[in-house]
Structures are given as structure tokens and as C-alpha cells.
Amino acid sequence: MTDPRTAYLELLRRSREIALLGSCSAVLSWDQQTFMPPAGTTFRGEQLAFLAGLSHQKATDPLLGELLTIVESSELMADPSSVEAGNIRELRHHYDRAVKLPQRLVEELARVTTLAQQIWQEARATNDFRLFQPHLEQILALKREEADAIGFTDQRYDALLDEYEPGLSTKTLQILFADLTAQLVPLIQRIQDCGRQPRREIFQREFPADRQRWFAESAAAAIGFDFQAGRLDTSTHPFCSGFGPGDCRITTRYNPHCFSEAFFSVLHEAGHGMYEQGLSAEQFGTPSGSYCSLGIHESQSRLWENQVGRSEPFWEHFYPRLQQAFPTALRDVSRQEFYFAINEIRPSYIRVEADEATYNLHIVLRFEVELDLLSGNLAVTDLPAAWNDRFRTMFGMMPTSDREGCLQDVHWSFGGIGYFPTYTLGNLYAAQFMEAAHQALPELNEEFRRGIFSSLKFWLSEKIYRHGRRFRAATLCRDATHQELTAKPFLKYLHGKAASVYNVC
């Protein structure tokens, strides 16, 4: 086993085993959210816990550490951009995170967050922050412990962010987000001041669920989601789950009185799904066959949902078809009116209902609050007031309840501290990728007008999908766009949208 080649192959074999366990859990979780009968909940929890235990056992096997030591000092690392070096780098990253966490901490986090998610649901339903408060305090204490166990050089938050966006620093985020906020806030203000409004009621007309499904499914197929290797089902919260080669499931929910909800969530999930479907099947279960980071994953969903799905060329193709699918609801609605309605920019309280501009202020707020909570600058008991103050400063309006404020998201209850920023990273990466794609493929808009999306998908496949996690996000971004991650393309995109929709610059 001292031969580095042999050690490397054994590492990959073990990595694939862990991935197979994960893929079984993915099937079980998908089923839980789509078809599982209600009485199955407890037992499904036992199945998932058992698989998670097996997976943790395999991920922390000391032999992995020994194998890593052998390959790290070998010629396999000679070229840092090789598949082998990328795999080894990421396997080490994953192994270190896994073994640095004491078993006791892992178990306590699991226990505390399982309960906290239940309590959070209750707290949100009854608008009672005090119910959730002690649980959030416990979670923060454990996440501080986690960050300390993982280790960091600059800020504690780095260690948590690193789980979702490996290699990105809090410092970089702070600079990016400051830039973004500085331009977003006045832009949104100018839009509000201009006084123009779309016909909002057109979305609240009758859009039968089965027709919505049919239309969304055909649009997802048109942009390139492969239904031979995937499905669209219904669940309470839309999601995408790539089980493995040839099988990726996406879900949505249908509101017969709101067309845009399901449709854009299907484009979003199909974007995630196309990324999963585009990963290398041969490299399944190794880092090179896995998604790069949550920010990059989210860029793929946002790109299709917003950059493509809310563009004029897209609807030049699809709007006549949409009118045919819903003749009664859309007979008296022009394409321009529809385009305005799907691109309305307007401050609102709830993140998941926000437009593509104000959405990012929701994220910046959460990022800042997380930093303060983790450092202890903000006590959990003061969270509701602090949230509302910041919200007023950023959005110019004040939540009237914690359900509309700091209780709205599930993330903290499952311990997802450091997760929110990846949503806005997705928006920034998406705009940056799209700008580069338009430069490389000047015919793109013309193709969209004719309902052709294959050039873009092929470009994404070349630049992003096929690399998996071989490169870190920063490298992937630089290679694909010839510049570092920056908010400029996104801001340019939003200014263009504001100009075309609101006549505001």
C-alpha cells in the first residue's frame, strides 16, 4: 500500500463508497419529500440516521489519513491542476473537516438541530421568538466550538463558510457585499421613486396546476434538462437532488393562482439539475465528479431562472406558447406587460419572495447578523430588534412581526451558519458567467429568440459542469471569465434591467 498509485486508487474507491451511501440517502430524502406516507416519518429518520452513521464511519477511517499522506508526497501532486491533484486536495479538505470534529460535537449538533428545527417551526407559526431563542443560543455555541475545532487564521466565520464555499474568505465577502450594497440601495430607491408599476393581478388569475406542470416541464426540457435522466415532482419546498449518473430529481409546488411561483422555481431547479446531469459519470463519487461549491451550484440555478428565464429574448420565444397554454388568463396581456410583471423590483419582507435585486439585500443583512451573532457582538435576545433596525435602514420599511423578520428562514435552525452568502454568490457568479458566455457566443440572444439553448448549455458544460470540484470556485471563475469574482457584471446586468423595465439608470 506504499505505492502512491495504489493508495490513490484505494482513496477513490473509498470516496465512491461514501458517495454511494450519500446517494442512497438522497433517494430516501427525495421520497420523504415527495411520496412518503405520513406514518413513515419516524422510520425514515432511523434509516437516514443509520446511513449517516455508516458514512461518518467511512469518512473518518484513519486509513484515509494514511493514504492521503502517501499520495500527498508523491508525483501525483506534481501538476496542481491535474485531476489527481484536485481530487487529493479535496479529499484532504473533506477528511480534515471530518476528523477535526469530535464525535461528541457531531452528535450534539445533530441532537440540538433536530429539536431546533421542530421548535423553529412552532416559533414561526406562533410568531414567538422567545421559544426559539435558547435553541439558537445553543446552536451558536456549538458552531463556535465547531469553528474552533476546524481552525482558522483570520476570522472564526471563515471556518464555517469553508464548509459551503471552500477557499472563500469572510474578508472577500465583506468587500464584495459592501460594493454591492453601496450600489443596490440607491438603485432600488430610484426604482421606487419612479412610480412605475406592472399589472400584478395578471399572475393571480386562473392557472390550472396540470397546465402549469406541462408548460414548466416543456420549458425545462427546452433549456436542456434531460427527462430521460431525471423527473419533476411535487413537494412542499422545491429542491433538486442529483442521485448520481443518469438520475436527477427536481421538484416544485403549484399555486393555481400564481403562475410565476412554480415556473421560475422549475427553471431554477432545472438549472441545478443540468449541472448535476453534466457532472462526469466516470468520476462519480470523487471530487472531480462532484459540484464545485454551493455558490457555483446556485449560479447555475440563478443563471437559468433569472439571466435567461427573465430575459426578453427568452419570452420572445415562450410568450406566444404561454398564451396558448393559458388562453383565458393571458388573452389581454401583452408580452411587454408580462415582461414587466416578471421583472418587478420592489422591497418586501420575505427573502424567498424577493425579486432578483432586493434579494441580495436580504442576504447581506443575514450575513452581517450572522457575523455579529457568532462574534458575540449581538446577543440572541437582541436579534429581533437588530434585524428590524437593519431592515429599515436597507429597505426603508419595518417588519411588523418576527415571522416577517428574523424567524422566516429555516437555515439557522439546522446549523446552517455561513450558508446564506452562497445565494448571493450564485447571483454574482451567474452574471459573470453569463457576461463571458455572451462575449464568447455573440449569437446567444438570437438563439434564445428561436428557442435554442444548446450553445449556452454546451459552454457551461465546458467551463463548469465537467470540471466538478477539480478546481476551486475562484479558479473555475477565473478560467471561465478571465477575471476574479466581482459584483460588477451583476450590477451592470441589474442596471440594464432597470433601464429596460423602469427607464431608470
Are 374 and 156 within 8 A, CB to CB? yes
- Which residue in the set 7, 11, 12, 51 belongs to the binding site for a copy of itself (CB under 8 A)? 51
Distance in Å, CB of 35 to a copy of itself, minimum: 6
User: Quick one: 28 or 110, whose CB is closer to a copy of itself?
Assistant: 28
Distance in Å, CB of 80 to a copy of itself, minimum: 31
User: Quick one: 36 or 110, whose CB is closer to a copy of itself?
Assistant: 36
Q: Which residue has the cell 440572444?
A: 445
Dist. CA 159–CA 164, nearest whole Å: 10
**Which sign does the torsion angle of CA 93, 96, 99, 102 carry?**
negative
Interface with a copy of itself includes 15 (CB under 8 A)?
no
Distance in Å, CB of 39 to a copy of itself, minimum: 4
Q: x/- site string to a copy of itself, residues 204 to 243, per CB under 8 A?
A: ----------------------xxxxxx-x---------x
- Which residue in the set 245, 273, 295, 489 belongs to the binding site for a copy of itself (CB under 8 A)? 245
Distance in Å, CB of 469 to a copy of itself, minimum: 19
CB atoms within 10 A of CB 499: 11
Dist. CA 164–CA 20, nearest whole Å: 21
Query: Shortest CA distance to 239 belongs to which of 226, 229, 249?
Result: 249
DSSP string, 36-53: --GGGHHHHHHHHHHHHH
Contacts of 294 (CB under 8 A, 6+ apart): 164, 165, 419, 422, 425, 426
CB atoms within 10 A of CB 42: 7
- Which residue in the set 254, 259, 284, 465 belongs to the binding site for a copy of itself (CB under 8 A)? 284
Among candidate residues 269, 276, 356, 435, the one labeled active-site is 269
Distance in Å, CB of 417 to a copy of itself, minimum: 30
230-234 and 240-244 beta bridge pairing: unpaired
- Which residue in the set 6, 41, 381, 503 belongs to the binding site for a copy of itself (CB under 8 A)? 41
Give Cα 453 to chain centroid, integer Å. 22
- For residue 466, give the DSSP letter: G
Between residue 125 and residue 154, which ones bind a copy of itself under the rule CB under 8 A? none
> Rg (Cα) of the chain, in Å, rounded?
23
Distance in Å, CB of 217 to a copy of itself, minimum: 13
Q: Which residues pair with 233 in a beta bridge?
A: 251
- Which residue in the set 10, 108, 247, 447 belongs to the binding site for a copy of itself (CB under 8 A)? 247
Interface with a copy of itself includes 106 (CB under 8 A)?
no
Contacts of 102 (CB under 8 A, 6+ apart): 149
User: Quick one: 34 or 174, whose CB is closer to a copy of itself?
Assistant: 34
Interface with a copy of itself includes 42 (CB under 8 A)?
yes
Q: Which residue has the cell 427607464?
A: 503
269 as an active site residue: the answer is yes
User: Quick one: 54 or 185, whose CB is closer to a copy of itself?
Assistant: 54
Between residue 52 and residue 71, which ones bind a copy of itself under the rule CB under 8 A? 54
- Which residues sit at the interface with a copy of itself, rule CB under 8 A? 17, 20-21, 23-24, 27-28, 31, 35-44, 46-47, 50-51, 54, 226-231, 233, 243-247, 284
**Which positions are annotated as active-site residues?**
269
